[in-house]
Chains A and B, each alone.
Chain A
Amino acid sequence: MGDKPLISARDLSVHYPISGGGLFGPRPVVRAVEGVNIDIAKGSFFGLVGESGSGKTTLGRALLRAAPITRGSIHYDDGEVQYDLPSLDARTLKEYRKRAQLIFQDPYAALSPRMTVRDIIAEPLEVMKLTKTREETDARVREIAEKCRLNLEHLRRFPHAFSGGQRQRISISRALVSGPQFIVADESVAALDVSIQADVLNLLKEIQQDMGLTFLFISHDLSVVAHVCDHVAVMYLGRLVETAPTRELFAAPRHPYTKALMSAIPSLDPDDRGRAQKLKGEIPSPTNPPPGCKFQTRCPYAIDICRKDEPKLESSGTAHEVACHRWKELMEDHALEDA
């Protein structure tokens, strides 16, 4: 893995105006993503976790320039080309689309029922005019389909004939066909059955390694992220609260929210019931976020400063960064408790 980031965002914010508010008052906005700094290393499998409403999907779309960027910079550099994403004109944006693609969550909604599998996979090639002849298109489609372990005889069929796992392999083929460098996989296995999910995860990982791609893997499922990603960022209410190499994060989570998320995963051990450190309440509305640390309304360790000042992501000289006023103190306390 190279150290140079493929994508580097600074102070990235995405605000959506919503209806409501007084006639002369300011228009209320949803701060879906607020002041995010993120570096995604080239060739990495980068995980982004958070609950619904945390802004993870919006962040993923912003990095694809598929969400309106309110503030901040995003720099893309794959070694061949560099783009400054917020200022791309329409023509350059089209070029960027060849290099950055999205795999959707729901393989049932993402595929047109009126197109054959071959046409679905070929569409990006035709739209982006990447191939000149039909033969060339066919050859490219077959090559990608094979890579995604699709049965080539199925290319003439329509998507309704396929199971969820097969459909997701079709979606993956379509995302890969234009030869992208950067893939955003948004909850790409969430709709799949457990026995199929493992298969699609292995496929994604294999493709990423074989083709040297960079993945942003968005998921609510920490155990899935732990298995496939090499770096993880945790989001809460539009902010990154913790980011670290996967092993480090799971071995020693620093943010109380990350800890709570981990302990909320139901244990497979029937004798290990009720061990979870339960979070009270729910994620606040992004139209009206609490002052100070966004997690203070649910945090069992919140003190005065947490209610006033918003903590910034800070590191202790490593790639492990956390945005919490009390993380050091809490880590020491926990070490004491464990001892």
Chain B
Amino acid sequence: MTRLLDVENLTLQFDTDEGRITAVDNVSFSLEEGEVMGLVGESGSGKSVTAKSLMMLNPGNAHYSDETRITLHLDGKPIDIMGLRGNEMQVVRGGAISMIFQEPMASFAPAITIGDQMVEQLLIHTSMNAKKCKEVSIEMLDRVGISDPSTRFKQFAFELSGGMRQRAMIAMALSTKPKLLIADEPTTALDVTIQAQVIDLMKDLVDEFGMGIVFITHDLGVIAQTADTVAVMYLGRLVEQGTVRDVIRNPAHPYTQGLIAALPDLDKLDVPLSPIPGDIPSPLERPPGCVFNTRCSQVVGPACTTVIPTFTEVSKGHTAACHIYSQNQSEGAA
């Protein structure tokens, strides 16, 4: 396995009218080539902002901490994304890194044909001429299962159905052969039957192109179906990381456990739904200590409300940031 991406100590704050809010707090993870990492979290967890940081797409009121390091390894050569300026960003934006958004209608320009938009980015990011770009674009549309691709190429986004648009979006994102694909809730706006088609398509494309994917979603079922590894975020912090089997079968962090228990399960219709008590706190009122302490049913002591828990390995390659485990560890050491 070859390392593709390293994110270290990503901390991101936004200046707002109501004060400076912390959207991402000291997040670190890495991704291998060909690996699909699921980034799970609810609204306000900072998962989308984290993903946008990888391409420096956050708005001007965003402040990254000095400790933040984002390194993309391109053909063995590390690229410091934080250090890129101006035109240098073009190497990563749409070139080595592509992004698929949740709402494909909002991501296509409404007055430019699908084809022109696909060709435009190929002209910027590759050395192909316009004719070749068109060929490649139509081929990609065909590849993602769009019937009659040369007609679709000349159509506008509003002429396509939701599932078609999302396929076209994927075709566009993949046509530059990116090394890293960021998929931000790519199936959330789709019906389940179409979602199943798109998930299948993405799995096929991973096998074929071998790019790394950061797959952002709130849906643990989608994660279980697509990801190799999972990182769970809550209120700007990572709380658990591990392989998809470990995290979903043996969730270690109380938040992950709560999330899984809150899911309606078709096989357990007699078990009442168990919500996580309380509401997600406002980012303006982040709780001290562990950010989950206001809703946690397993608070172990005063440390939970005062000390930020660090990651502890609960099994090989499976870590959780929770005082339940740090306590056990210190007892074991004593």
* B192, A193: Cβ atoms closer than 8 Å: no
Q: Tell me, in angstroms, the Cα distance from A194 to B163 when the chains sit together.
A: 24
Q: Tell me, in angstroms, the Cα distance from A196 to B281 when the chains sit together.
A: 12
CB distance from B229 to the nearest CB of A (A): 11
* B275, A198: Cβ atoms closer than 8 Å: yes
By a CB distance below 8 angstroms, the chain B residues around A265 are: 192, 221, 266
* B262, A195: Cβ atoms closer than 8 Å: yes
**B263 at the A/B interface (Cβ < 8 Å)?**
yes
List which B121-168 residues lie within 8 A (CB) of chain A: 161-164
Main secondary structure of the interface of B (DSSP, over half): helix
**B269 at the A/B interface (Cβ < 8 Å)?**
yes
By a CB distance below 8 angstroms, the chain B residues around A166 are: 279
Contact partner of B225 among A226, A227, A247, A273, CB < 8 A? A273
Most buried by A among B221, B272, B273: B273
**A276 at the A/B interface (Cβ < 8 Å)?**
yes
**A199 at the A/B interface (Cβ < 8 Å)?**
yes
Q: Tell me, in angstroms, the Cα distance from A47 to B191 when the chains sit together.
A: 17
Known contacts A51-B191, A278-B196; is-contact A197 B220 (Cβ 8 Å): no
Known contacts A163-B279, A195-B258, A202-B273; is-contact A266 B194 (Cβ 8 Å): no
**A220 at the A/B interface (Cβ < 8 Å)?**
yes
Q: Tell me, in angstroms, the Cα distance from A270 to B161 when the chains sit together.
A: 30
Known contacts A52-B162, A195-B262, A224-B264; is-contact A266 B222 (Cβ 8 Å): yes
By a CB distance below 8 angstroms, the chain A residues around B245 are: 270-271
**B56 at the A/B interface (Cβ < 8 Å)?**
no
Q: Tell me, in angstroms, the Cα distance from A157 to B143 when the chains sit together.
A: 53
Q: Tell me, in angstroms, the Cα distance from A117 to B265 when the chains sit together.
A: 34
* B264, A266: Cβ atoms closer than 8 Å: no
* A268, B221: Cβ atoms closer than 8 Å: yes
By a CB distance below 8 angstroms, the chain B residues around A278 are: 193, 196-197, 200
CB distance from A150 to the nearest CB of B (A): 12
By a CB distance below 8 angstroms, the chain A residues around B262 are: 194-195, 197-198
By a CB distance below 8 angstroms, the chain A residues around B206 are: none
By a CB distance below 8 angstroms, the chain A residues around B43 are: 164, 193
By a CB distance below 8 angstroms, the chain B residues around A201 are: 264, 273
Q: Tell me, in angstroms, the Cα distance from A276 to B226 when the chains sit together.
A: 13
**B237 at the A/B interface (Cβ < 8 Å)?**
no
Known contacts A220-B192, A261-B193, A270-B224; is-contact A194 B263 (Cβ 8 Å): yes
CB distance from B231 to the nearest CB of A (A): 15
**B274 at the A/B interface (Cβ < 8 Å)?**
yes
Known contacts A220-B191, A273-B225; is-contact A193 B196 (Cβ 8 Å): no
9 closest A-B pairs by CB: A266-B221, A199-B275, A198-B275, A195-B276, A193-B42, A198-B273, A51-B191, A223-B264, A264-B192
Instruction: List, sorted by A's number, 6 A–B pairs whose CB atoms are closer than 8 Å.
Output: A163-B280, A195-B295, A271-B245, A279-B193, A279-B196, A280-B197
Extra contacts, 16 of them, besides A163-B280, A196-B275, A270-B249 (Cβ < 8 A), are: A193-B42, A193-B280, A194-B263, A198-B262, A201-B264, A266-B196, A266-B219, A266-B225, A267-B221, A267-B224, A267-B225, A270-B244, A270-B248, A271-B245, A274-B200, A283-B191
Q: Spell out A's residues near B (CB within 8 Å).
A: 51-52, 163-166, 193-199, 201-202, 220-224, 226-227, 246-247, 250, 260-262, 264-274, 276, 278-280, 282-283
